[in-house]
Amino acid sequence: MYRFFLTTSLIALAAPSFADTFTGEARVDTVTIYPGLATVTRQVTLDLPAGQHEIVVPGMPEGLATEGLRLAAPAGTQVGAVNLAFDRLPVTPDQSAPEIIAARDEVERLEGVLRDRAAAIAQIRLRVQAADEQIAFLQSLSQASAGEALTAASVADIRALAQMVGSETLVAREAAFAAEQEAKAAELARQDDVEALQDAQQALAALLQPEQEGAVLTFTLTVAEAGEVTVDVSSVEGFANWSPVYDMRLTTGDEAALDIDRAVVISQQTGQDWNDVQLILSTARPGEQIAPSGVWAPLRRIISEEELDRERGALMMADEVQSLSRSAVGGMAEAMMEAPVQMTAKADFSGATVTYIYPGRVDIRNGVEDLRLPLDTLAFEADVWAEAAPSRDQIAYRMAEFTNDTGEVMLPGQALIFADGTMIGFSQLPLLAAGADTEMGFGPLDGLRLTRATPNKTTGDVGVFTSSNQLTEQAVLTVENLTGQDWAVKLRDAIPYSEQDDLEVEFTASPAVTRRDPEGLRGILEWDLDVAAGDKTEVTLDYTLTWPSGFVLR
């Protein structure tokens, strides 16, 4: 069905005459989540007669951004003035869902049960009170009658009085004791009802929380023909986020492969639950920079050496004053004189936007812990090798490289790493554009043992006239394969490098170096070695530094 969109107007114009006022519930139907915010589409469905009507929609989120509010109505209808109220809310009929009505009824029923329990316990306590008053009366009566009996010197009367008071008091005390026991039993039974009421109140509060605070949307709607009408209310809401998580499973061997199980973690604190919604995930970033940063030319100037010396002197004096001020006021002046931190915008993401429509409908509660949903599984071919740095490590590490040939962007996220069925640990997958290559570590190889020894290191003078100084170092790099399988090993080491013509660096290596200064890293050397199972491979590296006399090597 064709729908058109209208920008909301938060200022009501001349109020038209309405045929009727209808109250409808806005049910969340579709949610599109971006990193940091979401577009929420709610549907208001009403059976309306032809004519112009006022539609009142309570229960909208309190922090709704009016700038992103849009209404879409079907063909044959027209939306007029729109108003969103956050206070002075209009009176609306109860639009509670059936589960809320049932929860309220249960709370009211249990409250009635507790009232009846309290009344029954109070009635039992009246029997205890009556027995206590009877005992007090008997005691006062016995005292008065005993005085008269003693005056009359009638032993028989005294005996009869004592027997009567004793028996009646016993009956009264037994009645009070029985009533007290009955009251205690009733109070214990009441405790179960108290706990049931507390549970019912908590269940009702969980259902009502999204509606405790909110806004009311009001708009006019003109309907050409009577019938059921559904209006889409879309809003941009913050405090929602999604991020991918990955299980990366590497299989080594003759045909190395990498399978990535991709899932998403979703969280939202928009103030309302999203129940039974269609979920859409987008890699677009509407909350970030949307245009390139500005470029400014640097201003350069020259000053005389005398002026430069004066500026340096002024800076030294300012440093001394600042040091004295810090000692005088305990560091307060230092905080005040620090230069402000320069804030720079992050680079804008450049690449294709990908949208994932999650199959089935889901429930995402407001403010709950992150919800994890499986997404898909991706399969890649992988190049696997062992990487060794004997100068830093005692063992080599498994590495893999793969190409993102999915045709879509892979967002950065936490990855759980597996190698040949064994969990290795956690890593972080970087942002991968379509077609991009990346290398990742897949754990240690304890059977590839590394050593680096320096059997020869000398310094001294060379040349007939001792015109220069020299430092020579020899390093022996060893890779021993105890893994039981052959490994392609990338061995990496470093030699000093120089940016001065007078400091010369020369080296020799056996076997020859495969790559020097890879990716522009000065002084880094790499060898591609094939180390068979049970074998040991050695690389001998010699380098010499030569510099003129009168200079010191730093």
Average per-residue pLDDT in the chain? 78
Look at residue 343 and tell me whether its pLDDT is greater than 60.
no
Phi-psi region of 330 (alpha: psi -120 to 50; beta: other; left: phi over 0): left
Answer with the residue of higher pLDDT: 385 or 457. Answer: 385
In Å, what is the CA distance from 84 to each residue of 59, 183, 207?
A: 11, 55, 24
How much is the average pLDDT of 184-205?
76
User: What confidence tier does 402 reach under pLDDT thresholds 50, 70, 90?
Assistant: very high
Residue 328 has pLDDT above 60, yes or no: no
The whole-number average pLDDT for the span 303-309 is 77
Say what the pLDDT of residue 199 is.
79
pTM of the model: 0.58
> Which range among 111-115, 256-260, 521-525, 528-532 shows the weakest confidence by mean pLDDT?
111-115
Whether 547 shows a pLDDT value over 70: the answer reads yes
Higher pLDDT, 45 or 550: 45
Nearby residues of 466 by Cβ (< 8 Å), 6 or more positions away: 549
Mean pLDDT of 530-548: 92
Average pLDDT on 192-219 reads: 72
> Quick one: pLDDT at residue 342?
33
Mean predicted confidence (pLDDT) in 337-360: 49
Q: How far apart are the first and last CA of the chain?
A: 77
Q: β-strand 20-23 against 51-60: which pairing, if any?
A: parallel
**Residue 323 binned pLDDT confidence (cut-offs 50, 70, 90):** low
Mean pLDDT of 266-291: 84
Q: What percent of the chain has pLDDT over 90?
A: 34
Is 286:256 a contact under the CB 8 Å cutoff?
no
Please report the pLDDT score of residue 87 as a whole number. 61
For the ranges 155-159, 360-364, 419-423, which has the lowest average pLDDT? 155-159
Please list, residue by residue across 511-545, b when 16 or more beta carbons sit within 10 angstroms of its beta carbon and e when fewer do. eebeeeeeeeeeebbbbebebeeeeebebebebbb
> What pLDDT, on the 0 to 100 scale, is given for residue 269?
86
pLDDT computed for residue 347 by the predictor: 26
pLDDT over 80 at 336, yes or no: no
Q: Which residue has the higher pLDDT, 463 or 184?
A: 184
- Mean pLDDT is highest, among 97-106, 148-157, 264-273, 441-450, for 441-450
Return the DSSP state at 349: P
Q: Please, which pLDDT band fits residue 285 given cuts at 50, 70 and 90?
A: confident
Most confident of 1-5, 124-128, 489-493: 489-493
Which residues are within 8 A (CB) of 409 and not within 5 positions of it... i.e. 6 or more apart?
283, 351, 352, 353, 354, 431, 432, 433, 434
Distance CA 554, CA 547 (A): 11
Q: For residue 89, is pLDDT > 70?
A: no
* Cα 268 from Cα 274, distance rounded (Å): 9
Q: What is the CA radius of gyration of the chain?
A: 43
pLDDT > 60? residue 326: no
Average pLDDT of the segment spanning 192-212:
69
Q: Residue 248: what pLDDT?
A: 95
| Nearest in space to 127 (alpha carbons), one of 191, 173, 187, 190 | 173
pLDDT at residue 345 in the model: 23
Q: How many residues make up the chain in this entry? A: 554
Put residue 298 in one of left, alpha, beta given phi > 0 → left and psi -120 to 50 → alpha: beta
Angle at which helix 155-212 crosses helix 98-152, to 10 degrees, equals 160
Give the per-residue pLDDT at 380. Answer: 95
In the predicted model, what is the mean pLDDT of residues 189-210? 72
Burial class (CB in 10 A: 0-12, 13-18, 19+), 388: buried
How many whole angstroms separate alpha carbon 36 and alpha carbon 358? 18
> Nearest 5°: phi and psi at 28?
-65, 125
Phi, psi (deg, nearest 5) at residue 518: -65, 135
User: Residue 180 above 60 pLDDT?
Assistant: yes
Question: How many other β-carbons are positioned within 10 Å of the β-carbon of residue 236?
Answer: 20
Return the closest-CA partner of residue 54 out of 25, 19, 84: 19
Burial class (CB in 10 A: 0-12, 13-18, 19+), 102: middle
**CA distances in angstroms from 441 to 237, 396, 425, listed in the order given:** 38, 11, 10
Within 239-394, strands assigned E span 240-251, 257-268, 274-282, 355-364, 371-381, 383-388
Residues 235, 31: Cα–Cα separation, whole Å? 10
Q: Helix (H, G, I), strand (E, B), or coil: what is residue 173? A: helix
CA distance 233 to 83: 13
Model pLDDT for residues 227-242, shown as the tens digit of each residue: 999 999 999 988 888 8
The pLDDT of residue 364: 87
216 phi/psi in degrees, rounded to 5:
-120, 125
**pLDDT band per the 50, 70, 90 thresholds, residue 211:** very low
Per-residue pLDDT for 138 more than 80? Answer: no
